[in-house]
Amino acid sequence: MTAAYPYPNSPQHIGHARTYTIADVNARYHRMKGYNTLFPMGFHYTGSPLFAMAKRLREGDPEIIETFTKIYRIPKSTQEKLKDPKSMASYFRDDIKKGMVEIGFSIDWRREFTTTDPLYSRYIEWHFRTLNRKGLITRGTHPVAWCPNDKSPVGVVDTQGDVEPEIGESYLVKFQKDGVVYPTSTLRPETVFGVTNLWVNPEATYVRARVDEELWIVSRETVEKLQHQNRKVAVEREIQATELLWKTVRNPVTGNEIPIFPGSFVEPDNGTGVVMSVPGHAPYDYQALTDLKARYPDSAEAGPTLQVTNPISIIKLEGFSDLPAADLIQKFGVKDQNDPHLEHATQELYSKEFHDGVMKENTGGYSGMQVAKAREAIAQELTRQGKIETLLELKNAPVVCRCGTKCLVHILENQWFINYGDPEWKKLAHKCLDQMLILPEEIRAEFNYTLDWLRERACARTVGLGTKLPWDPNWIIEALSDSVVYMAYYILSKYFTKYWVVFKKFEKDTSKLPDAFFNFTLLGEGAVDRVAEETGVPKRILNAIRTEFEYFYPVDMRHSARELVSNHLSFYI
């Protein structure tokens, strides 16, 4: 029986106590019932969190120093020693282990290890060579969540707050004026028929830039995002938003001239910082347009277009008026564009229109088509015509790396991936899941969902603690890839410690421990006589490891946290 081993970058907290207490209660209960129950524990050193935290401590980050001093109550003299990542890991490991012992957890400490132990690294090298031999390691060009500062992919263990970055695709609808493109980011390309105006943030700085072969107007923050997605971007000059306001651009689909209005709600670092407004079918846009008209009642002050700009109805929705956005505004009692109820109104309307909406006559050849089908058809046609492109974004932005840098999407070339999208591997995973008891049972759907959408996942970084990729030592295996099947190592760890006289030679030079050792002890492959001769490990020890592994493995019970379903636990299966 195992529980997720802790990451020693802080003292033990109440979440640890809960997880390990539940595991310990189960271990003791099964022992009382007569089961020979193994409950081991190790420590997860590898990855970027320790690396980043030690760096912040070295750089005198006030927030970290205050946390260490006031919350963790670590003396300043001790903090000096923690500026080295491994020293920090050892300090917190000792602190966490002490707490576990004081609580009284019935852990078999003979099997303790850390993921930077030389023999563990050798085990991970074998693990990756095995995956590679099976064709489950690939190299290619894929989008990844990326830290521009560390110049490395990031996952849940690399971000502040343990946030799993989620990559999504949005469409860039290319409005134009005098040969200049105003790309607007949207998830609903079918609503281009109902655009009445564009929004820009009046306080933001925009740029006129040559993007590949076109001139674009985008927020200053967009430039870096485009560059990380293999775009050639050359900024010609910066533009204040006031230079754009009240001007007009042309809708690439309808040909209508539409104005640019100020919208303080526009986030310059979201999309392109230029937003298309569909007030008939977007509650945020409807309310923003209403607020703006109230703010500028005199057309002379804001230009002649504002007061005559009205919502356009393009989607028929049973049970709603021609302007469903207005209906939802009224239903939720929205007062202004800062009202939190706007988000609920938006989610409800978007869902209803997607599933039940029908395109109206003013959408040309898409009239009478279900919105769900029209979205895909319109996106394909406009892409073919060169009127829209795509932009990759982090759907759950802002995601912040542990070094303090905002993450973005990066198209990574020649990166190593574990191919969790392999169809046959997915079938095996689903078959295993079907045989498992999941508590609570409702979590099973989350596992099935995760196993279905999992694709290639970056498995190596250029910074942090960890095992070097065996065939490409410029890369370090990342923390959610070197901790997938660490549970098997608990069997090995006990014998590495017990027969240290035999195994110490391998710690000095791990290359002397061949894959044949792991193939025999963990997979049952090869003849014991030959493995003993090749490794110098006595047959009785090899047989003892193999026998114990077959006795205890596979794991009967795994205790973890729900947030790991979408990553570690599904990888584990």
Q: Give the separation between CA 222 and CA 205, rounded to whole angstroms.
A: 11
**Model confidence over 276-286: pLDDT tens digits?**
999 999 999 99
Q: Give the separation between CA 526 and CA 171, rounded to whole angstroms.
A: 54
Residue among 341, 394, 344, 4 nearest 169 (CA):
394
**What angle do helix axes 528-535 and 539-552 make, rounded to 10 degrees?**
120
pLDDT average, residue stretch 169-192:
97
Angle at 407 between CA 403 and CA 412, to 5 degrees: 110
Asked if 168 and 395 touch (Cβ cutoff 8 Å), the reply is: yes
Q: Give the separation between CA 520 and CA 511, rounded to whole angstroms.
A: 17
State how far the alpha carbon of 154 is from the alpha carbons of 72, 157, 337, 419, in Å: 27, 8, 34, 17
pLDDT average, residue stretch 335-359:
94
Put simply, whether the predicted model's pTM sits higher than 0.85 gets the answer no
What's the 3-state SS for 516-572? HHHHHHHHCCCCHHHHHHHHCCCHHHHHHHHHHHHHHCCCCCEECCHHHCCCHHHHH
Question: In terms of CATH architecture, what is 167-394?
Answer: Alpha-Beta Complex (3.90)
The mean-pLDDT minimum among 47-56, 108-117, 432-441 falls in 47-56
**Model confidence over 253-310: pLDDT tens digits?**
999 999 999 999 999 999 999 999 999 999 999 999 999 999 988 777 777 889 889 9
pLDDT average, residue stretch 192-217:
97
pLDDT average, residue stretch 41-69:
90
